[in-house]
A and B are shown apart, each in its own frame.
Chain A
Amino acid sequence: MISQEIKRGIIDENPILVLALGLCPSLAVSTSVQNGFGMGMAATFVLTCSNVIISLLRKVIPEKVRIPCFIVIIATFVTIVQLVLKAYFPALDKQLGIFVPLIVVNCVILGRAEAYASKNNVFRSLVDGLVMGLGFTIALCILSVIREVLGSNKLLGFKFSPRFQPMTVFILAPGGFFTIAFVMGMVRHLGNRKKGV
């Protein structure tokens, strides 16, 4: 069951590459693997914690004000993340910039809260948060590996190839769009091929 869940989070319902949620941070911070991984971890933390809390409170929260409640819960964890980053990873915090507070409005997190955590028990919500976060992180890493290598000829900050001339466009906005477009297209292409067989 767990492996199935993991497959669901990473492949079948990958938040970025299949569901196309949480696009803003995934494009903005995937300029380097460090940033992408950091953002992925932060989001996973918020996603898992908020999923758990929302699942715990799902019977208490009144239907009408559920969205504001969810947001407050998510925002609390985001603030925690912000404080932790500031304290221990100041460089990363500076890199991610306003996209740390913007985790609040990341559709992945709110979407899972609304679609999953508010309807399932705590354990399932925890697992869901973890696998979805994993899927999010993996997708971010894929994007950032491509962009870092092509855009600055580096991988995790180390020089990648001595001969390759990096294309700066890939760490600029257009490159982000092109990268996600082609990664997504590739995922779909493989998916179509699988379905076709």
Chain B
Amino acid sequence: MTNEQQPKKEPSDVNPSAADSTTPELLQLTAAPHLRQTESVSHIMLWVVMALLPSLAAGVIFFGLRALLLTAVSVAAAVVTEWAVVKFLKRSVTIGDLSAVVTGLLVAFNVPSTVPWWMVAIGSSFAIGVAKMTFGGLGANFINPALAGRAFLMAAYPSAMTRFGPTAFGSLSGIDGMSSATPLAQFKAAMADGSFQALDFQDALSDLFIGNVGGCIGETSALALLIGGVVLLYKRIIPLRIPLVYIGTVFLLSWIFNGTDAHLTTSAIIIPFYQILAGGLFLGAIFMATDMVTSPITPAGRIVFAAGCGALTFIIRKFGGYPEGVSYSILIMNLFVPLIERSTRPKMYGKVKRRD
């Protein structure tokens, strides 16, 4: 029967061809291409982290060391959560791709510097644990994890999330006084009670640009965010079109519908600048809307997506229940991404009429 022990021959004495004698090791058999670019996902994530560092520095300068502590807690919570989930699922550890670090940084950048440390940890854990890892980790989530974490915190602890601390160098020139509300909240209040004074806000622009205003840790300094954005653009990690269209849409809409009848007066021109510099627009447009996983993959879709984000940001800021609309608008547009991708498929080469 076949049960008996078969004397096994060593592979070496059944060598099929003489040519093999020159090949000590089996050759690798793979599909083309046999050349690959060296840049990998973790390189990309590393560069994103680097690009976020100027904003972190700005956050620490304006909000003190507490900002650094919160960021550290957030990053640690994100990484630990990812590690724990992966271990629980008995999958290979993925924290090396650094995407959890990016998420952790972004969650911290999206909370005020006054929140307790455990709150930011909850936000980070939610971002990684629910919004990302339940779908299977990097690349599988449909919604920006960091923003989902922020939205979760907003819904869970609304008061803590909207209590902002004053900056280290005093506050907005002229209009602030005692409150440490964000520039957008002040703006909305000013528009609502009719006390709007263009000049007050004009003075504030420089503070807004360098980030000496109330707000979340990483969102206030447009300058630092721009530096990071330039780095990412230079490394071709983010497409220029998303931040450009996003900020452009907000600018245009808040210029056209500026609440005054004129469009060329000082206040009419100040308003759009104020709108794009205040709040988290730069952070959102440069770092969140450009999140590759949750933005459309198609070039045309990216424009639609960014324009949608811009329009929603404007609508929520002007008509919504919150003074700030960047994070929600990106989250909502994240939901539309599959539909956008579907309807903006690039035109393929050769989809032309045949010449007969």
Judged by a CB distance under 8 angstroms, whether B152 is at the interface is: yes
Q: Is the interface of B mostly helix, strand, loop or mixed?
A: helix
Judged by a CB distance under 8 angstroms, whether A102 is at the interface is: no
CB distance from A189 to the nearest CB of B (A): 10
Q: Which residues of A contact B152 (CB under 8 A)?
A: 169, 174
Judged by a CB distance under 8 angstroms, whether A172 is at the interface is: yes
Judged by a CB distance under 8 angstroms, whether B96 is at the interface is: no
Q: Which residues of B contact A167 (CB under 8 A)?
A: 122, 155-157
Cβ contact within 8 Å between B130 and A168: no
Judged by a CB distance under 8 angstroms, whether B158 is at the interface is: yes
Contact with B157, one of A165, A175, A178, A181 (Cβ below 8 angstroms) = A165
A residues bordering B, Cβ < 8 Å?
165, 167-170, 172, 174-175, 178, 181
A169 and B158 CA atoms in complex are apart in Å by 9
Q: Which residues of A contact B130 (CB under 8 A)?
A: 178
A169 and B157 CA atoms in complex are apart in Å by 8
Interface size on B, residues (CB 8 A): 8
A97 and B130 CA atoms in complex are apart in Å by 31
Q: Which residues of B contact A181 (CB under 8 A)?
A: 134
68-112 of chain B: CB within 8 A of chain A: none
Q: Which residues of A contact B156 (CB under 8 A)?
A: 167-170
Q: Which residues of A contact B122 (CB under 8 A)?
A: 167
A-B contact pairs, 10 of them (CB 8 A): A165-B157, A167-B122, A167-B155, A167-B157, A168-B155, A168-B156, A169-B152, A169-B156, A178-B130, A181-B134
Q: Which residues of B contact A175 (CB under 8 A)?
A: 155
* B122, B130, B155, most chain A CB atoms within 10 A: B155
Cβ contact within 8 Å between A172 and B155: yes
Chain B residue at minimal CB-CB distance from A178 = B130
A172 and B158 CA atoms in complex are apart in Å by 13
CB distance from A190 to the nearest CB of B (A): 14
CB distance from B143 to the nearest CB of A (A): 11
Chain B residue at minimal CB-CB distance from A189 = B88
Q: Which residues of B contact A170 (CB under 8 A)?
A: 156
A175 and B155 CA atoms in complex are apart in Å by 9
A169 and B123 CA atoms in complex are apart in Å by 12
A56 and B156 CA atoms in complex are apart in Å by 50
A178 and B151 CA atoms in complex are apart in Å by 14
* B122, B130, B152, B156, most chain A CB atoms within 10 A: B156
A60 and B158 CA atoms in complex are apart in Å by 58
Cβ contact within 8 Å between B155 and A174: yes
Give me 16 other A-B pairs in contact (C-beta within 8 A), A167-B155, A168-B156, A174-B152 excluded: A165-B157, A167-B122, A167-B156, A167-B157, A168-B155, A168-B157, A168-B158, A169-B152, A169-B155, A169-B156, A170-B156, A172-B155, A174-B155, A175-B155, A178-B130, A181-B134
* A165, A172, A175, most chain B CB atoms within 10 A: A165
Query: Closest 8 A-B residue pairs measured CB to CB?
Result: A167-B156, A169-B155, A169-B156, A172-B155, A168-B156, A169-B152, A168-B155, A178-B130
CB distance from A166 to the nearest CB of B (A): 8
A165 and B152 CA atoms in complex are apart in Å by 14
A167 and B151 CA atoms in complex are apart in Å by 12
142-193 of chain B: CB within 8 A of chain A: 152, 155-158
Chain A residue at minimal CB-CB distance from B130 = A178
